[in-house]
């Protein structure tokens, strides 16, 4: 097969018996074979298992036992998602021999929905340390230009989806790790509301900020995937016991009268974006207006406040869980992760609690803003993907993150394409909603995606 279908397209073809899950899986495996040596998106490929699962899916569907739109769809998992009997290393020497006894809840739910697992995907070390060249596996490369950074930490997922090595993949997001790779790699990813997807079986980075979600080619695909991944888990203390709407059905609604706030201050003064990003964001606003939405500027607390709050919480929680290994096996970490964790040792307990007090205050302010607006549009990154060699150890400390605010609030944030640079590199935007209002976030993203043509472009090497 020459074209890379979306999940929705593949599911329709499979249902109509015009596409075989085995054929689809073989096509992904062939692309992995051709491109992974350049992209390093996968750190472990499981072709025999994938083909066996695809054949089982094909037989079940032929016998009238379709499980729905994900049945027979090849995906892969970020290597911090535990997989039963298959090493889950966090891209680190520290866990190089870690073979879990059970699947992460999100992995199990996606398997129950009928997905085919192609293997495990590259990440920054323990979802924070990267891009690093001193780990057991090389860092993933951007399919739009392999000299460039994929973003992180769901780096392999962004690269794999963009190049069509998998139709989708899992990601985690503590400060922007789903949305950054979505922006730089030109794919779509959602960080859902905190607690909507169980974190059980996902190696933690920061307990109170960790979110899990999917990355895929389109908004509709993300809606399909989140439907399968979400749900209450009594064994995850942060899990939310809320009813789940039909996300895919909600895509069809109108944006008429939807109030959208544009968080201009973040990318104009908080972390100034380059002209390409600013132009792409500005150009998105009339599209939303043409779809019936009301768009005006929204004001949130200064970006540096959000960043300080999120970063100090993340540092302390990450140091706490890594301290035993850091004290006894420091040589088993890559240089970036080891030193970022070591710096975190210098944040006091009082400052951690101060950050958590600030968090409550910032969340209250955010809730007040969200009484005026139904959605926010916000920048993801201040530029297109930089060269991977330029990403220094302290880069994420030097400029405040544009994505951290929505980890601090726990609100749903979708990242999707909103343009390309003159050189053909993708650019993204965030659509942010109130907690547990993923349906509206998806509806706005889907309407925008259908009104524009950005999703028709793939990296040249994927063709």
Partner 1 sequence: MPKPNISRESFAAMAATTGLKLSEAETRELYEAYGHVEAMVARLRGAKRPIAAEPAVVFKPER
Q: Confirm or reject binding of residue 367 to partner 1 (CB under 8 A).
A: no
Q: Confirm or reject binding of residue 345 to partner 1 (CB under 8 A).
A: yes
CB of 453 to partner 1, least distance (A): 41
x/- string (CB under 8 A) for partner 1, residues 184-223? ------------------------x---------------
CB of 404 to partner 1, least distance (A): 11
Q: How many CA atoms lie within 13 A of 228 on its CB side?
A: 25
Sheet holding 42-45, edge to edge: 42-45, 116-121, 74-78, 168-173, 211-216, 188-191, 413-420, 426-433, 375-379, 259-262, 294-297
Q: Which is nearer to partner 1, 221 or 317 (CB)?
A: 317
Q: Which stretch of DSSP H or E encloses residue 164? A: none
Q: Confirm or reject binding of residue 41 to partner 1 (CB under 8 A).
A: no
Active site residue 208: no
CA dihedral 357, 361, 366, 368 (to 10 degrees): 150
- Report yes or no: 268 and 299 within 8 Å, Cβ to Cβ: no
- 3-state secondary structure at position 462: helix
Q: Confirm or reject binding of residue 357 to partner 1 (CB under 8 A).
A: yes
- Report yes or no: 211 and 404 within 8 Å, Cβ to Cβ: no
What is the distance of C-alpha 396 from the center of its chain? Answer: 17
Q: Confirm or reject binding of residue 309 to partner 1 (CB under 8 A).
A: yes
Q: Which is nearer to partner 1, 148 or 434 (CB)?
A: 434
Q: Confirm or reject binding of residue 304 to partner 1 (CB under 8 A).
A: yes
Please pick, among 155, 177, 396, 401, the residue that the annotation labels catalytic.
177
Q: Which is nearer to partner 1, 85 or 330 (CB)?
A: 330
Q: What share of the chain is helix, strand, coil (3-state, %, to 5)?
A: 45, 15, 40
DSSP bridge pairs for 261:
296, 376
Q: Confirm or reject binding of residue 237 to partner 1 (CB under 8 A).
A: yes
Q: Confirm or reject binding of residue 359 to partner 1 (CB under 8 A).
A: yes
Q: How far apart are CA 433 and CA 167, in angstroms?
A: 26
CB of 339 to partner 1, least distance (A): 7
Residues recognised as catalytic: 78, 153, 177
Give the residues lining the site for partner 1 (CB under 8 A). 208, 237, 304-305, 307-309, 311-312, 315, 323, 326-327, 330, 339, 342-343, 345-347, 351, 353-361, 363, 393-394, 397-398
């Amino acid at each position: 097969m020459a074209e890379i279908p979306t999940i929705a397209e593949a599911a329709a073809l499979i249902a109509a018996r015009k596409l075989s899950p085995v054929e689809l899986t073989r096509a992904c495996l062939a692309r992995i074979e051709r491109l992974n040596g350049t992209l390093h998106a996968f750190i472990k490929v499981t072709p025999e298992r994938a083909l066996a699962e695809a054949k089982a899916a094909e037989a079940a569907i032929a016998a009238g036992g379709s499980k729905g739109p994900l049945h027979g769809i090849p995906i892969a998992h970020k290597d911090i998602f535990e997989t039963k009997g298959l090493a889950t290393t966090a891209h680190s020497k520290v866990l190089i021999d870690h073979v879990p006894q059970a699947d992460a809840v999100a992995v199990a739910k996606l398997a129950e929905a009928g997905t085919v697992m192609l293997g495990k995907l590259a990440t920054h070390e323990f979802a924070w340390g990267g891009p690093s060249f001193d780990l057991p596996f090389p860092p993933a490369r951007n399919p739009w230009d392999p000299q460039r950074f994929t973003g992180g930490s769901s780096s392999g997922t962004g690269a794999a989806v963009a190049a069509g090595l998998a139709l989708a993949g899992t990601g985690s997001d503590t400060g922007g790790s789903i949305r950054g790779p979505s922006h730089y790699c030109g794919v779509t990813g959602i960080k859902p509301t905190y607690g909507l997807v169980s974190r059980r079986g996902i190696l933690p980075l920061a307990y109170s900020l960790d979110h899990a979600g999917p990355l895929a080619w389109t908004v509709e695909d993300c809606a399909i995937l989140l439907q399968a991944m979400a749900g209450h888990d009594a064994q995850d203390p942060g899990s939310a016991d809320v009813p789940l709407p039909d996300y895919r059905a909600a895509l069809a609604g109108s944006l008429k009268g939807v109030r959208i706030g544009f968080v201009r201050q973040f990318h104009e003064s908080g972390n100034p974006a380059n002209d390409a990003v600013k132009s792409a964001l500005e150009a998105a606003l009339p599209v939303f207006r043409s779809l019936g939405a009301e768009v005006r500027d929204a004001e949130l607390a200064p970006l540096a406040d959000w960043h300080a709050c999120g970063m100090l919480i993340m540092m302390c929680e990450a140091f706490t869980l890594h301290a035993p290994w850091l004290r006894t096996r420091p040589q088993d970490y890559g240089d970036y992760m080891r030193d970022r964790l070591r710096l975190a040792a210098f944040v006091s307990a009082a400052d951690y609690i101060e950050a958590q007090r600030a968090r409550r205050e910032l969340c209250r302010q955010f809730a007040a803003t969200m009484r005026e607006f139904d959605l926010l549009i916000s920048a993801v990154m201040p530029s297109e993907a930089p060269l991977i060699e330029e990403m220094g150890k302290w880069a994420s400390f030097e400029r405040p993150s544009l994505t951290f605010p929505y980890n601090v609030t726990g609100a749903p944030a979708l990242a999707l394409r909103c343009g390309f640079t003159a050189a053909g590199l993708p650019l993204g935007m965030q659509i942010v909603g109130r907690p547990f209002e993923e349906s509206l976030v998806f509806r706005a993203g889907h309407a925008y995606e259908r009104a524009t043509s950005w999703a028709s472009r793939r990296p040249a090497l994927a063709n």
